Structure formats: structure tokens, C-alpha cells
Amino acid sequence: MDNKIEAALVKDFPELFRDINKPMTETCMCWGCDCGNGWEPILRRAFNQLYDIEPPIVLDQVKEKYGGLRIYYHGGPRAKRRWFGWIFWLPGLLFGIKHNWRRLPRSLFHCFRVANVNTYKHSIDVVQGIVDAAEAESFRVCESCGACGAPNHRGWISTLCGKCRAK
Ligand SMILES: [Zn+2]
């Protein structure tokens, strides 16, 4: 991504880009947004939504991979264990044993969801939803110019429009 375009993103979303000046041993953000200019509107839209999340999100890596956008991050809402959460494990275990051993892992996982609670303003899933939507959209947008595009099916995969692919 061009320095000018990236600098504007960094300026508008300083919290998200908090790690951009850290060394490469600590973060991949030292490479900046490692994708074409065409995806800037997708990133800006996603960053606008991520910027509102409490506690704050910090980007770890933004790059192109296999023709799609990848956004890695840390921070954001995390589940907290209820102090009485352990009580929920017993019914899960008993149900699993009584009905079907093969269902035990799923049964325990369900009880894990009940035993943990999100104590933050935003849902845990909302962050991954924003990221997933941006990544999915990138497969329909030319990475180079931002027009409608599609991934190729042979060789090095990239998502481009007809004009940019012909170049
Ligand atoms: Zn294009």
C-alpha cells in the first residue's frame, strides 16, 4: 500500500496502529498494511467499526494472502469465568456419560459457554464478525484499483479486475 494512503489510515486510527513503530521481533505491523491500494476502503470501513470496540483492539498484521485480505489483532472483549462456573461442568459431564461418549466434548463445550460470561459492552463475536466481513469482501474487490474483481484459479492467486490482470 502506498505510504501516503497508509499514513492517512495510521493518522485516523492511532489506537489500532499502536504497534506500527515496534520492531519486527514483536509485531508484523512494522510492515504496515501489506496489500494493494484497492482494499483501502474495505480497511477503512472495518477500522471505523473496530475503533469503537472496548477494550481497544490492536492490529498485529494486515496483509494479502491467497488472494484475500487477512487482519490479525489482539485485545478486545474476552470472556470471563463466572466464579460459580465450575458447577456447569458437572451436568455437561453427566449428560455426556449418560447419553453418548462421543457427544461428551460438545456437551462440555456447551457448558463452557454457559460457565463463561462476557463482562464487556461489546459481544466477543462482534470483533471477529467485522474482520470476517472485511476478509470476505476483499475477494470481490480488485486489490490494485478497488473496482469489482475476482480471484484467479490458477498459479499465484490474486484478486484483481480484468483491466489490472491484463497489465
Ligand atoms: Zn483493478
| pLDDT tens-digit series, residues 122-163 | 777 889 999 999 999 999 999 999 999 999 988 899 999 999
Cα 142 to Cα 152: distance, rounded to the nearest angstrom: 11
Q: What does the angle CA 133 – CA 139 – CA 140 come to, to the nearest 5 degrees?
A: 95
CA of 46 to the centre of ligand 1 (A): 21
Question: Which structural domain range is residue 134 located in?
Answer: 3-78+120-166
Task: Tell me the per-residue pLDDT of 87-118, one tens digit each, with 9 for 90 and over.
Answer: 777 777 777 777 777 777 777 777 777 766 66
Strand extents, DSSP E, the chain: 33-34, 57-65, 68-75, 79-81, 116-118, 150-151, 159-160
CA of 133 to the centre of ligand 1 (A): 21
CA of 44 to the centre of ligand 1 (A): 18
For residue 20, tell me if it sits in a domain.
yes
Cβ count within 10 A of residue 99: 11
Mean pLDDT of the 52-77 span:
93
For residue 45, tell me if it sits in a domain.
yes
pLDDT given for residue 85 in this prediction:
65
For residue 18, tell me if it sits in a domain.
yes
Q: What does the angle CA 94 – CA 98 – CA 100 come to, to the nearest 5 degrees?
A: 110
For residue 40, tell me if it sits in a domain.
yes
For residue 99, tell me if it sits in a domain.
no
CA of 162 to the centre of ligand 1 (A): 7
Number of independent structural domains in the chain: 1
On whether the CB atoms of residues 90 and 81 are closer than 8 A, the answer is: no
On whether the CB atoms of residues 131 and 86 are closer than 8 A, the answer is: no
Task: Tell me the per-residue pLDDT of 26-52, one tens digit each, with 9 for 90 and over.
Answer: 899 988 999 999 999 999 999 999 998
For residue 105, tell me if it sits in a domain.
no
Mean pLDDT of the 55-66 span:
94
| Ion ligand 1: residues, CB < 5 A | 142, 144-145, 147, 161, 164
pLDDT given for residue 15 in this prediction:
94
Task: Tell me the per-residue pLDDT of 7-21, one tens digit each, with 9 for 90 and over.
Answer: 999 999 999 999 999
pLDDT given for residue 134 in this prediction:
97
**Percent of the chain clearing pLDDT 70 (strictly above):** 91
Cell of 103: 457427544
For residue 39, tell me if it sits in a domain.
yes
pLDDT given for residue 106 in this prediction:
77
Cell 473496530 locates to: 50
For residue 34, tell me if it sits in a domain.
yes
